[in-house]
Structure formats: structure tokens, C-alpha cells
Chain A
């Protein structure tokens, strides 16, 4: 057993020249009860985060995604600074009840849209709507899907059958149609649109996690966990779910972009928020008429393309940045690809 004691290999030829052992000078004995101990406790986590970030930085698409996401988040957070709101609800765009004005005219950088609403204001405040909608829908859907799918996959049998049939009912209807049906019977506002989207969204996560759990639960490591006496529920939540969650996280990150697309779609066909609300889908919907017919204003006639195009670019950027980020997360979350 040569590899057991690494110190054995150190030659000490001369007794006089005994080298001083390289015992790293430790600070106070790391102890959870004092503050120094606590910082020491967090240290490995920080190192872990740093190595994750290094992996992230090597990936160009991931960096582009991250920069775009950060940009959108900053815009959303700084919305009151970029476009100071008026007296009413800040989510309602200020308007002057006039036909759309060209970008750059009268201090409207991106022009004005339907009823003369400021486009920049709509896009900046719409970023808030998009982020809250997508995060809330995806996180809630993820939570419901995770619990339902994991329990169904792990316990199997009747539980699995019952839960998956319920999931199938939701999956059997086309997502947009179901969302429309739910949104149409509820009052028209953002909360109800989110509710409709959550109901549509969770079944796909449940399916995904169930398949993962079913394959992971056959691993020897799960049997080994049973062999040391771990409870059945702890095995599911501590051993199986961490092993099967990474595809779910990737898919959720990519979905953040698509939730915004579907939400925009719902708003576009009129099942989302009311006209004038800072929501990108609704803004495109309002802009579609100006895109097709020229507006006549003070004797000049022009096509107000900017009313639909700028919110469209915003949606594109948002959806693309999250899907780039999701792609990169897939590489980073896999512990086998690390180091």
C-alpha cells in the first residue's frame, strides 16, 4: 500500500537539516459558533460559484445571453429613472390621443403608438411585466410539476396512474386554446393571464421530471441510500430529485423566453391585458393596424411601422437571451462536466 501515506516518500537524508513541515498556519479552530467559523463555512461555496462562473465565461453564447438578460433586468429595475411615470398607474402608458408620431419627434425617442402612447415608455415598463409574468409562471409551474412528477415517478403504481392521467388531460388540449379558454372565463387582467399560463405550463414539467425520476430511482446509489437506512421520502427529495433536476432547470430557463411569447400571443388575440397597458404583446396587437394602413396626419400620409416593430424586437431579445442562457446552464449544471 504505497499510496496510503504520502509522507513516506519524502526523503529525510540529513538529521540536522530537518525541514520544517509545511503545516499551513490555521486561524482559530474553525468553529460554527463564532463569526470566523461562519465565514469559513461559506468559503467552499464561493469557490464553487467561482468555478461555475469560469465555465460560464468560456462559453460565448452564454455570455451574450447573460449580458442581454442583465440588460433587460437593469432596464426593468431602472424603469422609473428612464421613463418617469405620471400620476396614475405606472403600468398604463401616457398618451396624447393623437395618431402615432415618428421616432425622434417631440422627444419621443421611439415615436408614439396607439392613441399616441410613448413607445419607449411601453417597452421599458413592459420589461417589468414580461419578467414578472415569465418568472412567476415558470417558477410556479416548475414547483407544481416537480412535486406531481416526482411523486408519480417515485411511488409508481396507482399514484402514478392517477397523477399522470390528470396531467394527460391538460396535455391533450392545445396549450394556447386552453389558455384562451381559461383567460376568457376570467376577468381580463395580468394576474388571470398568469394563472391561465400556469395551468397550461406545469404538465410538461411533470412529464419531464417523472421520466427522470423513474430512471434515477433504479440507480445503485438509491439502493445504497436505502441500505444505510434513509427514509423513503428523504430518498426522493435528497437523493433522487437533485440527480434528476438539471434537465428541468435547463428547460425552465428556456421556457422563460417562450412564456413571454405565449403571453404576447394571448394579449395579441385579445385575451390578455387591456389596451394601453405596458405589455409587449398588447403593444404589437395595437400596432398591427398601423402596420397595414397608412396614417394621415396634418396632410402627410405614412406607415407607422415602429408601433409593432419595437415591441417585437423587445420580445425577440427577451426570448433569445433566456434560451441562450438555458443552453449554457445545461453544460454548467452537469457535475460530470465540471473540472
Chain B
């Protein structure tokens, strides 16, 4: 695995200013995600997992939430970095130049416009409940093509220009052939018996066509107009004149070919997430799809711009168990295919064991343990992690009662002094109530924030 770090969160503090008081939701979280790995963030409800994820996306609602301190450093891809407004963000000081060279950007310091370039394109998110995360008035296809239209205007314009040129070429004569159904559900050409894909109109082996009019060159409407528009679009996708034109009725129709192209890409994305009958799903509204299909559509939206980091915020909570396994497997497969890193937020330790390479355990806004999955499950160090592991129901042990962690999650308006877990910790010491334990690396790659281990180092 590549050891290149793609995201670093350093000392993140987030408070929510509510009427009841200041909720100290995130209290010094430090973690890093490497390229291509799956990092699991575990913890009970309300411990700040989702807030951490939202802060990476810049989605923390500004009142009441406030990011007090911290750095979220994200290795931004060059093509986003080269956008003019992000360059401005670096200024000219040496330190910033250094940042620019390493292409690491502090997301928290970006302005609204710049962060939109990263959202959806470099970092994207899968939400917990696909039903409510999809917009009920748009079809699934529209929602996938929306993100493509937002971020990939340049690529779309280039394809359209190419198609325009193709359409001008003189017609070619093709032999006629039909698709046959071969073994294993493959389609075969009736002429040469070669394997044909579903969406191919022309046989790649013998050059015979399955449709009446291959090449698609009919009368060309507005060739010059489209060509001029899309040459402009390809050179500068954020062109102001084009953006204004998109707001005027009738004139906005120049976007039609682009929308069409985006729809085709959306269809490819739906095939990628293995949705049966993607053409129909494109035209269906979210309520017409099952939960699993909705989540697949969400994944298709999230992955359509090939993000560097995918945040999966409890992606399987709203789904039933059989679909859960499918969705997790799908995320894993796509991750390998695209080389995306995944931040998997969950409270299900089974999922962590199944898919994650490394795990961070959170408790009441603090990261209490961070290690690779195997060592967390084999020898959990922090008392809270130990408690979590003990409270997993096991088939082979005959217990009359499930083991639990005594006590309740503390109120984060008045969090316990020192270590936030000391009120429930079985090994609590005087020292724990006064001082907050730092996250210390015990063995290589296994860090824990607990005085039980820090004490050994000090003494």
C-alpha cells in the first residue's frame, strides 16, 4: 500500500454555541488517512464522528457550530490546485509556497468558492439515509448528471466537440447484423459470432452494425453555434458569459448536448455500481427505488468525479443486512478500482473488522485510540475500546447478560474534567480527573490516549 498521506486532521476543536450552553463536540482530534486505505471511525452516537466528517467537507453549520482550532490538511489534486482562486489563497510567503509544492491545502482556511471546487470532486460523501439524501423531485439520472455537470464541464465539452466532428464525417456503409444471446448471458454478433457488449452498436470484430443508421449523422443543426460555444467551454469552463447564458430561458438550451453527455456518463456510473436495468433507474424518482438501489445511486453520485477521498457516513445503517454486505463489498471494489481512500464512519464493529485497514475509536469528542484493525481487535488498549469489544454479543460464550460499559455518555456542555472517560472507567485514577491524556504511540502504529499507558512512560 502507498504510504502517502492524503488527509491529516491535526488538533481539531469544534464547539456548538447553543442556547443551553457551549457544546464541546470535538476536543482535539488528530488523525491521518493514507492513500487507498479505509480508515474506520468508530464510536457511539453523538461522539462526534459525523461532525468530524462534516468539518472535512466544510459542512459544519456556521452558527451554531464553530471550528475553534485545528488544521485539516488535504492533498489536493493538481488540476483543482491550478484554479486561479486557490492560487490566491496561498499568497506569496515562503511557507505557503512550500504548501503549494506539496499540494497540501488547509481546508478550513479556504473560502466558500474554493471549497466548492473540492466538494464532490476531490472529497465526496455518502450519507446515512439514502432516501432523504436524494432529492425527491429529481430523477436518479438527473442527480448523478448534476454533479458531473458541476465539475466536469471541460471534459464534457471536449467530448461534444469530438462528437460534432465525428458527425460531419461522410457516412460509411455497414453490413447489417443482429445481436444473439450467447452463453453466460453474453451477446454475440450474428455475423462473426464475436462477443458484443450491451451498449455497442457496431460489432468490433467484423464491423457490422446492429442498428439501422450507425454513425448518427443526420442533418446537423447549429453546427457552427455549438462548436463556438463548446470551444469556449473547453477552454474555460467557468466562463462568465456562458454562465449568464445558462440563466436565460431558450438560450440556456445550448447546454442540451452537455446535459445529454452527462446523462450518458451517469448511465455508465450506474452500470459501475452494478444497478440492474440502469436505463430505467435513470428515469426513476428516488421513491421508486429500493433502499439498496438508492444507496447505489448515492455511491454513483459520490464516485462520479473520481474523488480522492470518500467519506461514508454510516452508509449501511438504514439498510437491511443482506444489502449491507453488498453495499460494503461494492464500496470496497470501487475503492480498489479507483484508488480512492475511504473514511468509514460507523458504530458497527463488524463492519470495521470487515472493511477497514485502520481504526480510530472516538469517545465524547476525543479520539481515544488509533491503530490498525487487527491490533485493535486483538489487544484493545483503552478501557473504552476494551468495553466496546466486551459488549459485542458472542455466540460461543454463554452469558446471561450482555456486558455493558457502566454509566452514560457525558453531557458535552459540561464535559468531565481531565480524561472524558474517567466517569465510566473501571481503572480510574486521581490523575485522570485532572489532566487530559495525550495520544501516545505505544507500539508502532498503535496510539492510545490513556494515563494507564502514559504513566508507564513517565514513571
B238–chain A nearest beta-carbon distance, Å: 11
> Are A229 and B117 within 8 A (Cβ)?
yes
Asked whether A242 and B137 contact (CB < 8 A) given A227-B57, A228-B124, the answer is yes
Closest to A219 in B: B132
16 contacts between A and B (CB under 8 A): A4-B276, A6-B276, A18-B182, A21-B180, A23-B178, A27-B212, A28-B216, A29-B214, A29-B215, A29-B216, A33-B257, A34-B216, A36-B218, A230-B146, A231-B116, A243-B137
> Are A23 and B187 within 8 A (Cβ)?
yes
Which residue from B134, B137, B257, B285 sits with its C-beta under 8 Å from A224?
B134
> Are A229 and B118 within 8 A (Cβ)?
yes
Whole-angstrom CA separation of A221 from B128 in the bound complex: 11
User: Is A3 part of the contact surface with B, judged by Cβ < 8 Å?
Assistant: yes
Whole-angstrom CA separation of A232 from B274 in the bound complex: 32
Which residue from B124, B135, B167, B213 sits with its C-beta under 8 Å from A227?
B124
Whole-angstrom CA separation of A301 from B256 in the bound complex: 72
> Are A226 and B135 within 8 A (Cβ)?
no
Q: Binding site of A, secondary structure by majority: helix, strand, loop or mixed? A: loop
> Are B260 and A32 within 8 A (Cβ)?
yes
Q: Which B170-200 residues sit within 8 Å CB-CB of chain A?
A: 178-185, 187, 190
Q: Which A169-207 residues sit within 8 Å CB-CB of chain B?
A: none
User: Is A12 part of the contact surface with B, judged by Cβ < 8 Å?
Assistant: yes
User: Is A19 part of the contact surface with B, judged by Cβ < 8 Å?
Assistant: yes
In the complex, besides A21-B180, A228-B147, 12 extra interface pairs with C-beta distance below 8 angstroms are A12-B181, A19-B181, A20-B178, A21-B181, A28-B216, A31-B216, A33-B221, A33-B226, A226-B119, A230-B146, A243-B136, A336-B287
User: Is A35 part of the contact surface with B, judged by Cβ < 8 Å?
Assistant: yes
Closest to B286 in A: A221
Closest to A232 in B: B112
Q: Which residues of A contact B129 (CB under 8 A)?
A: 220
A248–chain B nearest beta-carbon distance, Å: 14
Q: Which A297-339 residues sit within 8 Å CB-CB of chain B?
A: 335-336, 338-339
B222–chain A nearest beta-carbon distance, Å: 8
User: Is A46 part of the contact surface with B, judged by Cβ < 8 Å?
Assistant: no
> Are B57 and A225 within 8 A (Cβ)?
no
Whole-angstrom CA separation of A18 from B216 in the bound complex: 30
Q: Which A214-256 residues sit within 8 Å CB-CB of chain B?
A: 219-221, 223-232, 239, 242-243
Which residue from B135, B167, B201, B213 sits with its C-beta under 8 Å from A33?
B167
User: Is A16 part of the contact surface with B, judged by Cβ < 8 Å?
Assistant: no
> Are A12 and B167 within 8 A (Cβ)?
no
> Are B213 and A29 within 8 A (Cβ)?
yes
Asked whether A35 and B218 contact (CB < 8 A) given A6-B276, A224-B125, A227-B124, the answer is yes
User: Is B219 part of the contact surface with A, judged by Cβ < 8 Å?
Assistant: yes
User: Is B453 part of the contact surface with A, judged by Cβ < 8 Å?
Assistant: no
> Are B181 and A224 within 8 A (Cβ)?
no
> Are B151 and A229 within 8 A (Cβ)?
yes
Q: Which residues of B contact A81 (CB under 8 A)?
A: none
Closest to A3 in B: B276
A42–chain B nearest beta-carbon distance, Å: 11
User: Is A166 part of the contact surface with B, judged by Cβ < 8 Å?
Assistant: no
Q: Which residues of B contact A231 (CB under 8 A)?
A: 116
> Are A229 and B120 within 8 A (Cβ)?
yes
User: Is B239 part of the contact surface with A, judged by Cβ < 8 Å?
Assistant: no
Q: Which residues of B contact A7 (CB under 8 A)?
A: 181, 185
Q: Which A1-43 residues sit within 8 Å CB-CB of chain B?
A: 1, 3-8, 10, 12, 15, 18-21, 23, 25-29, 31-38, 41
Q: Which B111-131 residues sit within 8 Å CB-CB of chain A?
A: 112, 116-121, 124-125, 127-129
Whole-angstrom CA separation of A336 from B132 in the bound complex: 13
Over the window 331-354 of chain B, the binary record of Cβ atoms lying under 8 Å from chain A Cβ atoms (1 yes, 0 no) is 000000000000000000000000
User: Is A44 part of the contact surface with B, judged by Cβ < 8 Å?
Assistant: yes
A224–chain B nearest beta-carbon distance, Å: 4
User: Is B17 part of the contact surface with A, judged by Cβ < 8 Å?
Assistant: no
User: Is B164 part of the contact surface with A, judged by Cβ < 8 Å?
Assistant: yes
> Are A228 and B216 within 8 A (Cβ)?
no
Over the window 238-262 of chain B, the binary record of Cβ atoms lying under 8 Å from chain A Cβ atoms (1 yes, 0 no) is 0000000000000000001100100
Q: Which residues of A contact B226 (CB under 8 A)?
A: 33
> Are A32 and B257 within 8 A (Cβ)?
yes
Which residue from B150, B260, B277, B287 sits with its C-beta under 8 Å from A229?
B150
Q: Which residues of A contact B179 (CB under 8 A)?
A: 20-21, 23
Whole-angstrom CA separation of A39 from B92 in the bound complex: 55
Q: Which residues of B contact A243 (CB under 8 A)?
A: 135-137
Query: Which one of A41, A226, A232 has the greatest number of beta carbons of chain B within 10 Å?
Result: A226
Whole-angstrom CA separation of A192 from B49 in the bound complex: 60
Q: Which residues of B contact A35 (CB under 8 A)?
A: 218-219, 221
Q: Which residues of B contact A339 (CB under 8 A)?
A: 288
Q: Which A108-142 residues sit within 8 Å CB-CB of chain B?
A: none
Q: Which residues of A contact B211 (CB under 8 A)?
A: 25-29
Q: Which residues of B contact A228 (CB under 8 A)?
A: 119-120, 124, 146-147, 150, 301
The 10 closest A-B pairs by CB, nearest first: A34-B218, A7-B185, A228-B120, A28-B213, A229-B119, A29-B216, A229-B120, A21-B181, A229-B116, A220-B132
Q: Which residues of B contact A1 (CB under 8 A)?
A: 274, 326, 329
B415–chain A nearest beta-carbon distance, Å: 27
A334–chain B nearest beta-carbon distance, Å: 10
Q: Which residues of A contact B190 (CB under 8 A)?
A: 20
Q: Which residues of B contact A19 (CB under 8 A)?
A: 180-181
Closest to B150 in A: A229
User: Is B97 part of the contact surface with A, judged by Cβ < 8 Å?
Assistant: no
